[in-house]
Amino acid sequence: MKIWTSEHTFNHPWEKVVEAAWRKYPNPMNPAVTGIDVVDRQVSDGVLITKRLIASQWGLPGWAVSIVGPTSVCYAKEYSTVNPEKKTMELKSRNLTFGSMIAVDETLRYESHPDDASKTKLSQEAVVTVQGIPLCSYVENLLTSKISHNANKGRQAIEWVIDKIETEVKDLKNSAVKNTDEILMNTKKSFGEITTAARKSIDDLHIGNQSSQSYPEV
């Protein structure tokens, strides 16, 4: 059994990081994750509880595939909780594919940084257990190294999603301002057209009255 742990601090508030965590996939940093499906979701005592099925490609080397068997897609189950009052989000996942030989239990915890509310602390832990196959320790080291590499990509992905969200918000604001300006412009244009038409009608009526008064009485 191999245990890997890591901590990272995001220079963003908890709410923003959690929103990015939900929108983490797809992203260009983690192309191995090919799909995520929500199996169940509910709210209990103000805590959001979600169960998801994650599909990914492990990319094992050929010799490892010859030991554990070939597969194009690997599946894992994920259980997560989000507590907005305590500002914590915890995700626990375990692989389903190769489950009888390889067990990867991973935990991610996002929480508001205890020393700075404008930042978010991420704590990660992975427990890798390989049994019933040759070179167990070597495979455990291989998977642990891959988890560490993917964790770094995962943090980059969070930053990428945050930038994407901020761009979307900025574009939305610009679009709203543009639409408002167009509405005001069209309103002024319509009002001007109505005013011009009204003045023309009054002028026509005035001219008509003058014409009718110019004829002598018989």
Greater confidence (77 vs 132) lies with 77
Greater confidence (80 vs 171) lies with 80
Could you read off the pLDDT of 125-184 as tens digits, one per residue? 999 999 988 889 988 998 899 899 999 999 999 999 999 999 988 888 777 766 676 777
Greater confidence (26 vs 199) lies with 26
Could you read off the pLDDT of 91-119 as tens digits, one per residue? 999 999 988 899 999 999 999 999 999 99
Phi, psi of 30 (to 5 degrees): -120, 65
Phi, psi of 12 (to 5 degrees): -140, 150
Residue 51 CB partners (closer than 8 Å, separation 6+): 38, 39, 40, 41, 77, 78, 79, 80
How far is Cα 145 from Cα 118, in angstroms, rounded to an integer? 31
Could you read off the pLDDT of 31-49 as tens digits, one per residue? 989 999 999 999 999 999 9
pTM metric for this prediction: 0.78
How far is Cα 103 from Cα 91, in angstroms, rounded to an integer? 16
